[in-house]
C-alpha cells in the first residue's frame, strides 16, 4: 500500500513536469502553428539561469523567479528578429528553430562543459505521511504546475489579452482588421510560451541537475504529447502531456524501462495516425 | 500513372514561374545566355576531384574521405526523400543505423562478412524498415500532414536510439565494437584506397540511379508533388503511393550507406540510429542544396571537411558556427549553396525532348 502510494506520487510528479514543459510548447504550437524546436533550449536556459543565481551566492528562488522573465524576454526578441520570418512554412519553422536551439544548446555546453551541475532544492526535506515520505520539492512542483495551468487558462479565457490571442488564432486577417496588432500578439504569445519553458527549467533543475542536453531530453516527449493532445486548443496539449507523462512514468513500474520508453512512442504515434485531431479536437495546424 | 504528362509539366512550369527570385532569375539568365547547363559541369568537377583525391591526400585523409563518401551516399538518400518528394524524414538515421547494426550482428554472430552478402543484407534491412515506417506514416485513408511525418520519423529514430542503448544484445551504450572487416573471398577490405574506390563506385552508381529516377516520369510526378501536392492528386496520381515508394528507395540507399559505414568504421553505436545522425544529414542537404542530388554530396563534403579541419582548435565552437550557418542558409539561401550557381529551372529539371522542341519552336 505504501509502495503503491509512493509509486503514484512519483508518476504524478513526473506527469506534472511533462505538463509544465509541454504547456509552453503547446501554446506556441496551437496559437501560432509552429513546432518550436528551440523550446527544449528555453527549458535549459531557465535551468541555467537558476544555476547562475545559485552559484553567485544569490538565493535559489531568486533565480527561479528571474528565469521565466529573462527567457520570456529572449523569446520576444527572437520572435521579432527571426521566428517571424518562418510563419509561412511549418517545416522551415521547424528547421529554423532547430538551428536556434542548436546555437543555444552548444553555447551553454561551451559554458558548462559536459558536466552535471547540481542545484539544491530551495525547500528540501520530505513530507511524512505516516509510514511513507514524499519529496517536498516534487510536491511543490505538482502544486505550481496546477497553479500555472489555472493561471494560463484564466489568462487565455478571461482577459482581453486572451481574447486577442484567440481572435488572432481563429482568423488573423479579421483580427488585424479589428485593430488587433497581430505581430505584437504573436510576439507576446511566443514570449509567453518561452517564459513557461524557462519556469519549467528553473523548477526541474534541482530534480534533474543541469547538463547541456537537459532540454532536448524532454523535447520529443513534448512534441508527441502536443500531437496526442491535439493542436489548436489550450486544453489539448495539457491533456496530451498528462497522458504521455503519466504513461512514461507508470510503464517502467510494470515492464522493462527500455521497452516502456519505446512502447510509449509507438502507442502515441499510432494514436495520432488514427486520430490526427488528437484527444481534444482543436483547430489544428 | 503515365498520364497527362504535359499537363503536369505545365503545372510545374506555372509554379516555378510564379515566384521569380532575384538571384535565381539572374543566374538563370546567365545560363540561358551561355546556352550551357551548369549541373553536369558541377557533377563532373566533383567526380574528378573524388577520383584524384587518394593520389593527393595523405593516407589518414583517404580514410577520412572514405567516411565522407559514405555519408554523402546517406545524404543522397535524404535528398531524394526531402528534396524531391517534400517528405521531411527527420529520422533517416533509423535506416542507416539499423542496417549498420544488422550487418554488425551478421559479422559478430554468424561470421558473415562476404561483401556480396552483407551489402545486400544491409540494403534489405534499410528497405524493410523504410517500407514499414513509410507505409505506416504515409499511407492510409487520410493524407498525413507534413508535420506528422516529420515528428513520426523523428520519434521512430529516437525510439530506436533508446532501444539500442538499453538492449544488452545490441551492446547497450557501447554499441558493437571491432566488427571484422568486409571480405571478398580471402581479400579483406581494410581502410585505404581500395575501400575508397569501392565506396566511390557505389556512390556513383547510386547517384546515377537516383538521377535517372528523378529525371524520369516518376521524378516529374515527384517534382509536381513537391511543388503542389493537391494539384498532382487532382490529376489522378496517387500521391501517397508515390511518396511511400520514394521513401522506400531512400531507406534502401540509407541502408546501403549504413552497412558500408559499419564495416569502414569497424563499430556501430547507438548514435548511428538516433536523432544526432538524423539531424546531421538534414544539415548536409540543406547546406549543400536540397533537390539537386549533387547538393547533398557537396554539403556533406563541406560540412564534414570543415568540421574535420576545425576539430583540433575549435571543437567546442564548431557546433555553434554550424547552427549559425544553418540559420543563415534557411533565412537567406533556402536552396543551399548550390543555388549560387544553379538556376531554379535547372533544379526542377526539364523532362523529355518534347519540352525543348516546344521551346525552340516558340522562340
The 3 state secondary structure assigned to A4-54 is: HHHHHHHHHHHHHHHHHHHHHHHHHHHHHCCCCCCHHHHHHHHHHHHHHHH
Whose CA is closest to A273, among B137, B290, B54, B123? B137
pLDDT at B352 (0 to 100): 58
User: What backbone phi and psi angles, to 5 degrees, belong to A134?
Assistant: -120, 150
Nearest CB to B166 within list A223, A227, A258: A258
Nearest CB to A92 within list B145, B151, B330: B330
Instruction: Cell numbers for A233, please give them.
Output: 486548443
State pLDDT tens for residues B309-359.
Answer: 887 777 778 888 888 988 888 888 888 888 777 777 777 666 655 555 555
Whose CA is closest to A228, among A211, A215, A246? A246
Give the C-alpha separation, B262 to B70, whole Å: 10
Whose CA is closest to A43, among A66, A63, A71? A71
Whose CA is closest to A202, among A45, A13, A12? A45
Contacts of B85 (CB under 8 A, 6+ apart): B222, B225, B226, B242, B243, B246, B247
pLDDT at B359 (0 to 100): 57
Residues in chain B: 363
State pLDDT tens for residues A117-159.
Answer: 888 887 777 777 777 777 888 888 889 999 998 998 888 888 8
Q: What is the DSSP code (8-state) at residue A135?
A: E
Instruction: Cell numbers for B297, please give them.
Output: 554530396
Comparing alpha-carbon positions, the chain B residue that sits nearest to A107 is: B320
Nearest-Cα distance to chain A for B151, in Å, is 7
Contact state of B146 with A90 under an 8 Å Cβ cutoff: yes
Residue scoring higher pLDDT (A91 or B9): A91
Residue B170's Cα: distance from chain center in Å?
26
The answer to whether A236 touches A25, Cβ cutoff 8 Å, is no
Contact state of A261 with B156 under an 8 Å Cβ cutoff: no
Contact state of A262 with B159 under an 8 Å Cβ cutoff: yes
Give the C-alpha separation, A41 to A44, whole Å: 5
CA angle A114, A115, A121 (to 5 degrees): 145
Residues of chain A positioned with their CB less than 8 A from the CB of B150? 91, 94
Contact state of B140 with A102 under an 8 Å Cβ cutoff: no
Residue A148 DSSP SS3:
helix
Q: What is the DSSP code (8-state) at residue A218?
A: H
pLDDT confidence band for A194 (50 / 70 / 90): very high
Give the C-alpha separation, A72 to B297, whole Å: 40
pLDDT at B18 (0 to 100): 43
pLDDT confidence band for B10 (50 / 70 / 90): low
Give the C-alpha separation, A160 to B279, whole Å: 41
Residues of chain A positioned with their CB less than 8 A from the CB of B151? 35, 223-224, 227
Side-chain half-sphere exposure of B275, counting CA atoms within 13 A:
16
Q: What is the ipTM of this complex?
A: 0.84
- Give the best-scoring range by mean pLDDT among A279-283, B12-16, B199-203, B228-232: B199-203
Contact state of B320 with A98 under an 8 Å Cβ cutoff: no
State pLDDT tens for residues B280-296.
Answer: 898 899 888 888 888 89
Contact state of B158 with A94 under an 8 Å Cβ cutoff: no
Give the C-alpha separation, A238 to A256, whole Å: 27
Residues of chain B positioned with their CB less than 8 A from the CB of A269? 136-137, 152, 155-156
The answer to whether B32 touches B181, Cβ cutoff 8 Å, is no
Give the C-alpha separation, B298 to B75, whole Å: 10
Q: What is the DSSP code (8-state) at residue A170?
A: H
Nearest-Cα distance to chain B for A262, in Å, is 5
Whose CA is closest to B138, among B234, B225, B231, B259? B225
Residues of chain B positioned with their CB less than 8 A from the CB of A258? 162-163, 165-167
Contact state of A35 with B151 under an 8 Å Cβ cutoff: yes
Residues of chain A positioned with their CB less than 8 A from the CB of B169? none
Handedness of CA A212, A215, A220, A221 (dihedral sign): positive
Which position has the grid cell 531512400?
A: B250
Size of the A and B interface in Cβ pairs below 8 Å: 103
Whose CA is closest to A232, among A170, A173, A275? A170
Nearest CB to B317 within list A82, A110, A261: A110
Contact state of B326 with A266 under an 8 Å Cβ cutoff: no
Whose CA is closest to A165, among A144, A189, A131? A189
The answer to whether B279 touches B99, Cβ cutoff 8 Å, is no
Inter-axis angle of helices A214-229 and A182-208, nearest 10: 120
Nearest CB to B148 within list A103, A257, A272: A272
Which position has the grid cell 557546433?
A: B319
Pick among B94, B141, B158 to test the A interface (most A CBs inside 10 A): B158
What residues of chain B have any CB closer than 8 angstroms to a CB in chain A?
Answer: 88, 136-137, 140, 142, 144-148, 150-152, 154-156, 158-159, 162-163, 165-167, 275, 279, 282, 286, 316-317, 319-320, 322-324, 326-327, 330-331, 334
Flag whether pLDDT at B110 surpasses 80.
Answer: yes
Strand partners for A76: none
Comparing alpha-carbon positions, the chain B residue that sits nearest to A284 is: B145
Comparing alpha-carbon positions, the chain A residue that sits nearest to B326 is: A99
What value does the mean pLDDT of chain A take? 85
The answer to whether B258 touches B119, Cβ cutoff 8 Å, is no
Give the C-alpha separation, A221 to A17, whole Å: 11
Which range among B8-17, B80-89, B126-135 shows the weakest confidence by mean pLDDT?
Answer: B8-17
Nearest-Cα distance to chain A for B288, in Å, is 15
What value does the mean pLDDT of chain B take? 80
The answer to whether B96 touches B257, Cβ cutoff 8 Å, is yes
Contact state of A95 with B331 under an 8 Å Cβ cutoff: no
CA angle A170, A174, A180 (to 5 degrees): 90
Whose CA is closest to B78, among B329, B300, B267, B323? B300
HEC string of chain B? CCCCHHHHHHHHHHHHHHCCCHHHHHHHHHHHHHCCCCHHHHHHHHHHHHHHHHHHCCHHHHHHHHHHHHHHHHHHHHHHHHHHCCCCCCCCHHHHHHHHHHHHHHHHHHCCCEHHHHHHHHHHHHHHHHHHHHHHHHCCCCCCCHHHHHHHHHHHHHHHHHHHHHCHHHCHHHCECCCCCEEECCEEECCCHHHHHHHHHHHHHHHHHHHHHHCCHHHHHHHHHHHCHHHHHHCCCCHHHHHHHHHHHHHHHHHHHHHHHHHHHCCECHHHHCHHHHHHHHHHHHHHCCCCCHHHHHHHHHHHHHHHHHCCCCCCCHHHHHHHHHHHHHHHCCCCHHHHCCCHHHHHCCCHHHHHHHHHHHC
Give the C-alpha separation, A32 to A187, whole Å: 10
Comparing alpha-carbon positions, the chain A residue that sits nearest to B138 is: A273
Residues of chain A positioned with their CB less than 8 A from the CB of B137? 269, 273
What residues of chain A have any CB closer than 8 angstroms to a CB in chain B?
Answer: 35, 82, 85, 90-92, 94-96, 98-100, 102-103, 106-107, 109-110, 216, 220, 223-224, 227, 256-258, 261-262, 265-266, 268-269, 272-273, 276, 285
pLDDT at B124 (0 to 100): 93
Give the C-alpha separation, A159 to A176, whole Å: 18
State pLDDT tens for residues B203-258.
Answer: 999 999 988 888 888 888 887 877 777 787 787 778 888 888 999 999 999 999 99
pTM metric for this prediction? 0.84
Give the C-alpha separation, B341 to B146, whole Å: 29
Query: In whole angstroms, how far apart are CA A174 and each of A12, A168, B158?
Result: 42, 8, 41
Strand partners for B183: B114, B188
Nearest-Cα distance to chain A for B19, in Å, is 14
Instruction: Cell numbers for B363, please give them.
Output: 522562340
Amino acid at each position: 500500500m505504501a509502495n503503491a502510494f509512493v509509486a503514484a506520487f512519483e508518476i504524478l510528479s513526473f506527469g506534472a513536469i511533462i505538463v509544465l514543459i509541454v504547456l509552453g510548447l503547446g501554446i506556441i504550437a496551437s496559437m501560432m502553428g509552429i513546432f518550436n524546436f528551440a523550446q527544449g533550449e528555453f527549458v535549459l536556459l531557465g535551468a541555467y539561469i537558476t544555476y547562475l543565481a545559485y552559484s553567485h551566492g544569490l538565493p535559489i528562488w531568486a533565480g527561479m523567479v528571474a528565469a521565466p522573465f529573462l527567457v520570456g524576454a529572449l523569446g520576444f526578441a527572437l520572435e521579432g528578429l527571426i521566428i517571424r520570418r518562418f510563419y509561412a512554412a511549418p517545416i522551415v519553422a521547424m528547421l529554423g528553430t532547430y538551428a536556434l536551439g542548436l546555437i543555444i544548446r552548444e553555447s551553454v555546453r561551451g559554458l558548462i562543459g559536459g558536466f552535471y551541475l547540481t542545484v539544491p532544492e530551495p525547500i528540501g526535506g520530505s513530507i511524512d505521511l505516516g509510514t511513507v515520505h514524499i519529496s517536498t520539492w516534487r510536491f511543490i512542483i505538482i502544486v505550481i504546475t496546477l497553479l500555472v495551468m489555472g493561471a494560463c487558462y484564466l489568462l487565455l479565457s478571461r482577459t482581453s489579452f486572451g481574447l486577442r490571442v484567440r481572435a488572432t488564432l481563429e482568423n488573423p486577417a479579421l483580427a488585424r482588421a479589428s485593430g488587433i496588432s497581430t505581430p505584437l500578439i504573436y510576439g507576446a504569445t511566443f514570449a509567453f510560451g518561452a517564459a513557461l519553458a524557462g519556469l519549467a527549467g528553473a523548477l526541474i533543475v534541482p530534480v534533474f541537475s543541469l547538463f547541456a542536453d537537459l532540454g532536448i531530453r524532454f523535447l520529443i516527449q513534448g512534441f508527441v504529447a502536443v500531437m496526442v493532445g491535439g493542436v489548436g486548443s489550450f486544453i489539448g496539449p495539457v491533456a496530451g502531456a498528462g497522458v504521455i507523462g503519466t504513461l512514461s512514468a507508470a510503464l517502467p513500474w510494470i515492464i522493462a524501462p527500455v521497452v516502456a520508453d519505446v512502447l510509449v512512442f509507438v502507442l502515441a504515434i499510432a494514436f495520432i495516425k488514427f486520430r490526427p485531431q488528437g484527444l481534444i479536437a482543436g483547430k489544428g495546424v | 500513372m503515365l498520364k497527362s504528362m504535359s499537363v503536369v509539366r505545365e503545372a510545374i512550369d506555372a509554379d516555378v514561374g510564379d515566384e521569380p527570385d532575384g538571384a535565381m532569375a539572374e543566374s538563370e539568365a546567365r545560363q540561358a545566355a551561355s546556352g550551357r547547363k551548369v549541373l553536369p559541369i558541377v557533377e563532373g568537377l566533383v567526380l574528378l576531384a573524388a577520383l584524384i583525391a587518394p593520389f593527393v591526400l595523405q593516407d589518414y585523409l583517404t580514410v577520412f574521405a572514405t567516411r565522407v563518401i559514405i555519408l554523402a551516399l546517406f545524404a543522397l538518400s535524404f535528398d531524394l526523400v526531402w528534396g524531391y518528394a517534400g517528405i521531411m524524414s527527420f529520422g533517416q538515421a533509423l535506416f542507416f543505423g539499423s542496417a549498420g547494426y544488422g550487418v554488425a550482428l551478421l559479422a559478430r554472430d554468424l561470421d558473415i562478412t562476404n561483401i556480396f552478402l552483407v551489402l545486400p543484407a544491409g540494403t534489405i534491412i534499410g528497405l524493410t524498415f523504410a517500407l514499414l515506417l513509410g507505409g505506416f506514416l504515409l499511407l492510409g485513408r487520410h493524407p498525413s500532414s507534413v508535420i506528422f511525418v516529420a515528428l513520426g520519423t523523428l520519434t521512430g529514430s529516437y525510439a530506436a536510439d533508446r532501444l539500442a542503448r538499453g538492449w544488452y544484445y545490441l551492446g547497450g551504450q557501447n554499441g558493437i565494437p571491432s566488427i571484422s572487416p568486409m571480405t571478398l573471398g580471402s581479400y579483406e577490405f581494410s581502410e585505404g584506397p581500395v575501400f575508397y574506390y569501392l565506396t566511390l563506385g557505389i556512390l556513383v552508381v547510386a547517384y546515377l540511379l537516383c538521377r535517372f529516377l528523378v529525371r524520369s516520369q516518376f521524378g516529374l510526378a515527384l517534382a509536381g508533388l513537391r511543388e503542389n501536392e493537391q494539384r498532382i492528386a487532382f490529376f489522378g496520381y496517387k500521391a501517397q503511393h508515390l511518396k511511400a515508394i520514394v521513401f522506400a528507395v531512400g531507406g534502401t540507399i540509407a541502408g546501403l550507406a549504413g552497412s558500408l559505414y559499419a564495416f569502414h568504421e569497424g563499430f556501430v553505436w547507438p548514435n548511428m540510429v538516433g536523432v544526432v545522425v538524423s539531424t546531421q544529414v538534414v544539415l548536409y542537404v540543406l547546406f549543400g542544396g536540397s533537390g539537386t542530388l549533387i547538393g547533398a554530396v557537396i554539403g556533406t563534403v563541406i560540412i564534414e571537411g570543415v568540421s574535420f579541419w576545425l576539430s583540433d582548435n575549435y571543437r567546442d565552437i564548431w557546433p555553434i558556427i554550424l547552427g549559425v550557418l544553418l540559420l543563415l542558409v534557411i533565412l537567406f539561401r533556402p536552396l543551399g549553396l548550390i543555388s549560387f550557381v544553379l538556376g531554379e529551372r535547372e533544379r526542377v529539371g526539364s523532362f523529355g525532348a518534347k519540352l525543348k522542341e516546344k521551346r525552340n519552336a516558340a522562340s
